Amino acid sequence: MTDPVIVVTRKWPESVEAELCKRYPSVRLNADDVPLDQDDLRDALQHADVVLPTVSDRLPAELFQPPIRTRFLGNFGVGYHHIDVDAAAAAGVVVTNTPGVLTDATADIAMTLLLMATRRAGEGERELRAGAWTGWRPTHLLGTEVTGRTLGILGMGRIGAAVARRARHGFGMPVVFHDNKDGVAVDGVPDATQLDSIDEVLAAADVVSVHVPGRAANRHLIDATRLKRMKPTAFLINTARGDVVDQRALADALWDGTIAGAGLDVYENEPDVPAELRALDNVVLLPHMGSATVGTRTAMGMRVLDNLAAYLDGREPPNRVA
Ligand code: DGY
């Protein structure tokens, strides 16, 4: 394909946009970073050869109904639950993602949430900024120490393993985990214990960190029943996908003391965050910023460009998912 017409749905780091425009003459950027609605996305699929979307774009099956011109969708991000990849494949569209380059940044945010939730850092910051801090006192904002506490990981992929390493070696946390694959070895954490079920992990852990992909089968994997399996002193951390956790059930569990606290970076209907969660002090709420470092977002963009270059050269894109 010569001179493909390329649509980028959101603003990217400048250096990556510059590289994209240097390589290809017909690129439409989104300088104002206004999210595309369903009509805009349909229009892009009907008029561009290449569309480069991201997690904030919803691409359901109906958008892939003919006529469409797009042959390549290079997702800026590792998660692709927002794209109906079966419908894309059926329409002859190649889809790629950006695994690997955001592992450390996302694991760092999981640890940030773990520490903020257990040590009540969000509460402390809110209090101080509100001018309500009255000074040091022995019983002020007492939290939970994490050293030596058990970390439970659901989904031991790249990011789960990176969190396990940080917790084990940085904080001396024993690690238990569940993964659908049998006999998973955790790189750098040889003593991590694989348990047979999610429920066993929930019962054993002082902090549970979720790292399963956001596919339909994982929707509300953590529901009211599963939250009740956790210790009342335990914390839930979610940096994976919002709909893996039933937000309403979580808000209830945080409110009635079923669990002690939570830290979330992802939500079911972003950017909406339920008022029930925002009203609670024992949950830390971040705005989906797991991969938000200059280096990581640049690497993600360059990974999209690598996949696109391979596709346009007639090679197999390294991160093809459909
Ligand atoms: C992803 O890559 O899927 C993240 O959620 C955005 O970085």
CATH number for the region 103-285 comes to 3.40.50.720
In ligand 1, the atom with minimum distance to the C-alpha of 79 is 3
137: three-class secondary structure by DSSP? coil
Write the residue with the smallest CA distance to atom 3 of ligand 1.
79
Encoded amino acid at 196, one letter:
D
How far does the centroid of ligand 1 lie from the alpha carbon of residue 79, in Å?
5
Tell me yes or no: is domain 6-101+293-312 CATH 3.40.50.720: yes
Residue matched to tokens 């669990």: 259
How far does the centroid of ligand 1 lie from the alpha carbon of residue 285, in Å?
17
Encoded amino acid at 297, one letter:
R
In ligand 1, the atom with minimum distance to the C-alpha of 288 is 5
Q: Could you tell me the CA-to-CA distances from 99 to 111, 160, 175, 276, 283 in Å, in that order?
A: 20, 13, 24, 33, 28
CATH 3.40.50.720 boundaries in the chain: 6-101+293-312, 103-285
Is the per-residue pLDDT at 63 higher than 90?
A: yes
d(CA 82, CA 191) in angstroms, rounded, equals: 36
User: 83: which strand partners?
Assistant: 59
**What is the percentage of the chain residues whose pLDDT exceeds 70?**
100
Write the residue with the smallest CA distance to atom 6 of ligand 1.
77
- Ligand 1: residue of 9, 54, 55, 97 to mutate (most ligand atoms within 8 A of CB) is 55
d(CA 263, CA 109) in angstroms, rounded, equals: 10
Average pLDDT for residues 282-305, to the nearest whole number? Answer: 98
User: What letter does residue 36 receive in the DSSP assignment?
Assistant: P
Tens digit of each residue's pLDDT (9 = 90 or more) over 118-130:
999 999 999 999 9
d(CA 121, CA 124) in angstroms, rounded, equals: 5
Confidence bin at 279 (pLDDT 50/70/90): very high
Confidence bin at 1 (pLDDT 50/70/90): confident
How far does the centroid of ligand 1 lie from the alpha carbon of residue 139, in Å?
39
Tens digit of each residue's pLDDT (9 = 90 or more) over 164-179:
999 999 999 999 999 9
How far does the centroid of ligand 1 lie from the alpha carbon of residue 78, in Å?
5
CA atoms within 13 A on the CB side of 67: 5
State the catalytic residues.
241, 270, 288
Write the residue with the smallest CA distance to atom 4 of ligand 1.
77
140: three-class secondary structure by DSSP? coil
Cβ-contact 291, 297 below 8 angstroms: yes
Is the per-residue pLDDT at 215 higher than 90?
A: no
User: 153: which strand partners?
Assistant: 177, 209
d(CA 122, CA 320) in angstroms, rounded, equals: 39
Write the residue with the smallest CA distance to atom 2 of ligand 1.
77
Torsion of CA 220, 224, 227, 229, to 10 degrees: -120
Average pLDDT for residues 200-210, to the nearest whole number? Answer: 99
Is the per-residue pLDDT at 59 higher than 90?
A: yes
Is the per-residue pLDDT at 184 higher than 90?
A: yes
Is the per-residue pLDDT at 36 higher than 90?
A: yes
Ligand 1 neighbours (beta carbon < 6 A) = 55, 77-79, 102, 290-291
Is the per-residue pLDDT at 247 higher than 90?
A: yes
Is the per-residue pLDDT at 2 higher than 90?
A: no
Tens digit of each residue's pLDDT (9 = 90 or more) over 67-109:
999 999 999 999 999 999 999 999 999 999 999 999 999 999 9
- Ligand 1: residue of 57, 80, 102, 243 to mutate (most ligand atoms within 8 A of CB) is 102
How far does the centroid of ligand 1 lie from the alpha carbon of residue 286, in Å?
14
In ligand 1, the atom with minimum distance to the C-alpha of 77 is 2
In ligand 1, the atom with minimum distance to the C-alpha of 266 is 5
In ligand 1, the atom with minimum distance to the C-alpha of 76 is 2
| Strand intervals (E) in 197-244 | 207-210, 235-238
CA angle 305, 309, 313 (to 5 degrees): 175
d(CA 207, CA 197) in angstroms, rounded, equals: 16
How far does the centroid of ligand 1 lie from the alpha carbon of residue 294, in Å?
14
Average model confidence (pLDDT) across the chain: 98
